[in-house]
Each structure stands twice: as C-alpha cells, then as structure tokens.
Amino acid sequence: MEESMKGLNAAQEEAVTSTEGFIRVIAGAGSGKTRALSQRFAYLVNEIGILPGNILCVTFTNKSANEMRQRIHHLTGDNDTGYICTFHSFCVSILQEDGHALQYPKNFLVLDNADIDAMLQLIYEERGLTLRDMSFSSARDMIEMQKLFQKPEYYLDLFALPHDALRQKYESAQGVSDIIFYGYLCQQKKCFGLDYNDLLKFSLYLFEQHGDIRLKWQQRLEYIMIDEFQDIDSIQYDLMRVLCGYHGNLFVVGDPDQTIYTWRGANVKYLLEFDKVFPGTKTILMMDNYRSTPEILAAANSLIDKNLLRMKKELRPVLPGGAPVLCRFADSPEAEAQWMADQMERLHGEGVPFREMAVLYRAHHVSRAVEEELLRREIPYTIYSGVQFFMRREVKDALSYLRMVADRDDLAFRRILNLPKRNLGRRRMAFLEQYAQDKACSLYEALCDSLEDPLFKGTGAQDFVALIERFSPGCEQRPVSELLSALLDESGYEAMLRTEGSQERLDNLAELKQSVYEYETSCGEESTLEHYLTHIALFTNSDAEDRSDKVKLMTVHTAKGLEFPYVFLCAMNEGIFPSKKTNTLQAMEEERRLAFVAMTRAEKGLYLTEAEGRNFDGSPRYPSRFLLDIDETLLAYTQKPQDHLIAKAQDYINFNSRYLLDHSQGQHFARGQRIKHSIFGPGTIVEVDMEKAAYTIQFEKIETPRTITFRAKLEVLQG
C-alpha cells in the first residue's frame, strides 16, 4: 500500500482511499487529478481486490482514456483494465453486448462525420438538394438539435417503423430540414448505423425497457468514476444515475472554474449540487497545482476571482518561482504577431523546441496575422483545426478497407470500390444501387451476384471481391496492424499513392500504422479488429498527437485538457475575447472561465497580447476586460499601456456591461406562448433564440414575424 500512495499529497491520498458511497472531488487545473484517478483504480484492484472488469472510469476524450489505461496497466500489471473509456465508447460496449434486445446486430456501425456526410450526399442527390439549401456541416448540427430537442423521441421511429414505413415518411417530407432528417434516419435504419447521440439514447432506452439487462450492468459496475464532471450533460447524467443505482459507489471529479461547454449542453449544477442530490456526499478539495509557476497561477487566480457565480477557491503553486507573465499592448495585429514571433525565436535560441510553444485564441479568424508572420520567418507551425487526422482522405480510405473486411458495409464499399481505379465508375455503381434496392441486399452482395454480368467484364470487380473474400475469414484473429499493412499492399492502394508521388499521404498512412500498433500495445487482448474500428469511429482531433517540432496553433476550446511549457494567448480584445456574441452575465462568466482555462495551460511561460486597430465592422478595438481584471502588479508590461487607451476601454466595458442580461432573473417565455407588446400588440412566440437573447414573434397586426430582444417588455396573455 505504501508503494501505491507514494508521491501523493494529503488530498490526493484521501481521494484514492475513499472508496465507498458518493464522493465529489473539486480538483483545480494541474492538481494531478488524472494521477489520483489512476491511483484510485489501482488501489481498488491491488489493495481491496476488486476485479478491473467491475470498475467503470469515464473520461471525456479517447486520448485521456488511453493515457489512463497505460498508467493503470503500469500500476496493476494487469492487461485487463476494465472499462476505461468515454461515455460513447462505454455505450458501444453496452449495445454490442445487449443491443440484440432492441433487434440491433452486434456489428452495428458507429457513424463518424465522414459517414454522415456520405449519407447526406445520397439524400441531396435523390431529392435534388444543393449546399445552398443547407451545408453538410449545418445539416449535421440540425440533425443533432432535432435529436436532442425538437424530436427527442426520434429513436422510437428507428425501432418501431419498418424501413418501408420510414422511407415513406422521408419521401412525403416537405421542408429541407425534415427531408434531410428523415432521409438520414432512413439511411441509418438501412445500415444499422448509430451516431454519438444514438449511442447514449439507445443505451438509456435499453435499460428503461429491460430491467434484467439494467440490473446486470448495475451489479457488474461496483465502482464508477467520472472525470471532468463539470462538462456532463443531461443524457450522460441520466445514464450515470441509472448505472450507480445498485451499489451506490460514485466518484466524480471536476472543476466549476473550467465549465466552458454550456453551449453544447454541459450543466455545472450537476457538480455544484451533487451533495444535494446524493445525501451523505463526501467532498474533497484538490487545490495544489503541479503544472504552472506561481506567477502564472497568481494571474489566473486574480482573473477568475472576478466571477461571482463560483465556488470560492484558489490554486496553490507547488513549483518554484519562474518568469513573470508578460503582457504586450501592440499597435496592430501585425505588430502583435511580430512580437510573438520575436519571443518564439528567442526561446528557440535558448534551446526550447518549437513543439513546446502554443498559440491560443478565441476564434480561428485571428490566426491569420500570426500565420503570415510565422511563414515569413520560416517558423514551423501546425493548426489544430481543418481536416482532422482520422478524417483525412487516405486515412478514411485505409479504415474503409478494414471495415469492408469486417462488416462489408455500404458506406465503406462506396468509398473504396474504385480506389485504386478498377473501372467501376458511376454507371456501374448506379446499376449496383438499383440491384441492391430491388433485392433488398447490400451493395457488396449486389456486386458478388453481378460478377458474370457483361457490364462488369473488363473491370477489377473480380479482383476486388477476391481480395475481400481472402482477408475476411479469420480477420478477427489477426493483429490489426498486420491486417492493415497487408490490405494496403495487396489492394494496390499504397502503390497508387507512390505512383502519384503523394509522400504526405504515405506519411499519414505510416502514422496510422503506428497508431494501430500503439493501440494494440495498450489494449492487450481487446485489440481485435472489431474493437479497433469502434475505437477509431469515436476518435476526435484532440485525441491525435502531433510529435513534430512545430508551434501549435489552436482555439482555447481545443486546448482544454492539454498543457504546454509556453503559451501565447493572443487577440485579447473586446469583441474577440470575450466574444462579441456574449450577451448575458452568465455567458460573460463562461468567457472568463475560458480565459482562465487558457492561462492555466501554461507551465513555464505565459504571454498575453492584444492589438489596437479596427474590427471587421469598423469599430475600434479595445483591450479585453480580462486583461484589466488581472491585478496589474501580477503582469510585466513590455510597455505600460497609455492611460487614455485604458480609460476608453473601461468606458466601453462599462457601457457594454449595462446591456448584459441576467438569465437567472426575469421572465422568459416559451415557444407557442401568447404575449402582448407595448407597441405591436398581441402575438405568439414562434422561436426562442438563447444565443441572440431574442424571440421571433408573429404579431396579429403585422404580416411578417419580428425578432424582439429579451429586454423588451412583454406581457403574458391568458387563454
């Protein structure tokens, strides 16, 4: 036991050894919560004797899950590391084991964005829609909103309606949104595909409908641990409450000051009110920070203390003193970028690798000046945005070959049938589509049945089928890394890239092979093809590591959960950070939490910058209130800001603050409610836009609807 407690402080040790009942850990940034979670898992296994398979540890990214799995394997020496995964990944395990009770096959397809876009492409072509009607990105968001809010019972259609009835619903749909939504459900039904929302919804529905299955999972999970609990949403919360309903052992870790995802459903009240929902809760505070210097922490503490809606606490530094937090007031965005590049070159000259530096910003558009300057100076950089690693064309192609061997699904088939070229273009694909529809079979089955048809003579159809048939038997018994290499070789895919001279794409395939190997190493006997494909479908950009020596550019949201020796937080201007969309007191506090998260990513050096100039709308730029929130004695200014600039900024901030709404106060109306406006008279609430803080109202005396701000005085009309 002494070995397992080695190096833990008092609060961490208390968290590790408190095993029974409901436990809430408030863990500040850099306080070693990942270590505490890993040690607690090991303590349950090594000291108490709990089987790893009876422990669930939920993280919010696959990267975190992989890191924790490796730590626990090192601490326990056991290849079985239980359920260490994201909520979505855990739901996959539930549905693979018990989804048959919902008439879903074990090998259902987990859909990523590329799969959804492929389905949308089919719907758009079939119904004559274009990207002018709705972009794919907007369509994905719309589908998610429909599933979460407008049509939360959608999943009943997937269960109850036969495919023909669902297709009829799709064909009779009129509006663009309904056409896309029901077309998507139709495509889902056809290939037994589930997206991220479905995984949670289906799991909850399964537990609701089948008490025996619910009890089995409740009894199995003797201990449940959840990381980043401040980011949990209502569906995840409901699932968690169900799962801990038998043993009553629930351990949650979070930091209210790092709640930055309310816009996607996160609700910090689940953490703050945890002790009210679960009486007898033990609360442990972990405030010792092992990441950042005292100078960085002092500035971050000074900033977050300005929030009113928070649990009062302060991070305590463990590391010795370091460099002061540097603050730069620049004359222009170009001058701001030049100064940052100067500091990067200075650090690099002192032996600091570029990969230890990160530039963080509130919105992508402000990176332009930084990029231009880095390019001019030939400072290597990478942007954490754009095309995600696992969404890159060649990576998706390679994974589609694996999917064909495992499941032979239509989406993978469409993607790789003619990669490399096999003379199987649009005309022959249209034939297969029609055949599959008429015979109610998969596209691969349609191809197998049609090999003797004259249409497929002189094509590579025979070779493609032979390839799949050769690799399919026994694919689950072969190491995934070996299977992937062989497929890419024998299909001719890698040879095609070499012929094209696509070295970057070949490098990406090499990186993919390395990631497969690392997955196999960390997962032991679980690293089957089925497990790997499920794992990768749930992967996001933040889960992929870039080991190259480049400065990292990313939004603050992307940086959540990461840390860097040197952080440049740029464009600290009103209307940028905080965002100009911020129109409530609650949203402003979330923006301040976001700035706090950005500052606490830094380990050794923190650089805060802003620039004068004009915004896109021509309005003058002012320094961010978040710079002014920090006690000026805690900042080292490269040049003291001019008094008149600070005075103007303060006037702007005071004026702006007067118009921030308080959502905790006042009356809000719901869609469909009848109201009366002092000028326009009676009307009906058509839409409620929380982001714009406005209603869309159809007034009786006005032909077209009006957008009316929450600030307007409205009366409720009875009846």
The token pair at 538 is 């749930």
Catalytic entry in 13, 14, 17, 34: 34
Query: What number of CA atoms fall less than 13 Å from residue 189's CA on the CB side?
Result: 23
CB contact at 8 A, 108 and 193: yes
Q: At what angle do helices 211-220 and 87-98 cross, to 10 degrees?
A: 130
The token pair at 565 is 């020796």
Catalytic entry in 195, 198, 227, 494: 227
- Element containing residue 608 per DSSP (H, E): strand 602-611
Neighbours of 719 (CB within 10 A): 3
Catalytic entry in 258, 558, 582, 609: 258
- Nearest-angstrom CA–CA distance, 592 and 295: 19
Neighbours of 707 (CB within 10 A): 12
Bridge partners (DSSP) listed for residue 695: 688, 708
Closest CA to 612 of 602, 621, 603: 621
- Nearest-angstrom CA–CA distance, 158 and 170: 13
CB contact at 8 A, 598 and 608: no
Cα angle 320, 326, 329 (rounded to 5 degrees) comes to 170
Q: What is the DSSP letter of 511?
A: H
Catalytic entry in 115, 198, 222, 228: 228
Q: What is the DSSP letter of 634?
A: G
Closest CA to 82 of 54, 45, 46: 54
Residue type, 31: S
Catalytic entry in 328, 403, 593, 601: 601
The CA–CA distances, whole Å, from 330 to 341, 554, 599, 613 equal: 13, 21, 19, 9
Under the phi-then-psi rule, with left for phi > 0, alpha for psi from -120 to 50, and beta for the rest, what region is 697?
A: beta
231 is catalytic: no
Pairing relation of β-strands 325-330 and 551-555?
A: unpaired
470 is catalytic: no
Measured distance between the N- and C-terminal CA atoms of the chain, rounded to whole angstroms = 68
258 is catalytic: yes
- Nearest-angstrom CA–CA distance, 402 and 530: 9
Quickly list H helices, 455-554.
461-471, 480-490, 493-500, 503-523, 529-537
Closest CA to 368 of 532, 98, 553, 127: 553
Distance from the Cα of residue 472 to its chain's centroid: 33
- Nearest-angstrom CA–CA distance, 467 and 465: 5
Q: What is the DSSP letter of 614?
A: B
639 is catalytic: no
Catalytic entry in 33, 40, 214, 392: 33
227 is catalytic: yes
With DSSP H G I counted as helix, E B as strand and the rest as coil, what are the percentages for the chain, rounded to 5?
50, 15, 35
Residue numbers annotated as active site = 33-34, 227-228, 258, 601
